[in-house]
């Protein structure tokens, strides 16, 4: 059986805010957000753009990282995103 990949991601919303989430299918989740079928936060803030993601082998680790990133102030999230570029 193939191991599933898990992602923690940051979206840049149309109002320039960030949304951090978890998924096991990054492309599908991005489409869902932009179709306004994702979480309530992003529904009124589309289009959203994927600006950062991390890959994990377990759901637990990805979700733990999601919580860590959500607690970061905006400036530290911006540094994470810039480090990726």
18 contacts 53 by C-beta, under 8 angstroms: no
Give residue-wise pLDDT tens across range 27-48: 999 999 999 998 999 999 999 9
Q: Residue 4 — very low, low, confident or very high, per pLDDT cuts 50/70/90?
A: confident
Tokens of 35: 């179709």
The model's pTM is 0.93
CA 21 to CA 52: how far, in whole Å?
A: 11
- The domains of the chain are located at 6-84
- At the top level of CATH, the class of 6-84 is alpha beta
């Amino acid at each position: 059986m193939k191991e599933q990949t898990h992602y923690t991601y940051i979206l840049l919303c149309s109002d320039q805010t960030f949304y951090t989430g978890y998924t096991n299918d990054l492309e599908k989740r991005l489409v869902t957000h932009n179709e306004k079928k994702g979480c309530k936060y992003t529904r009124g803030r589309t289009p959203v753009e994927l600006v950062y993601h991390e890959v994990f082998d377990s759901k637990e680790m990805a979700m733990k990282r999601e919580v860590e990133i959500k607690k970061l102030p905006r400036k530290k999230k911006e540094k994470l995103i810039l480090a990726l570029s």
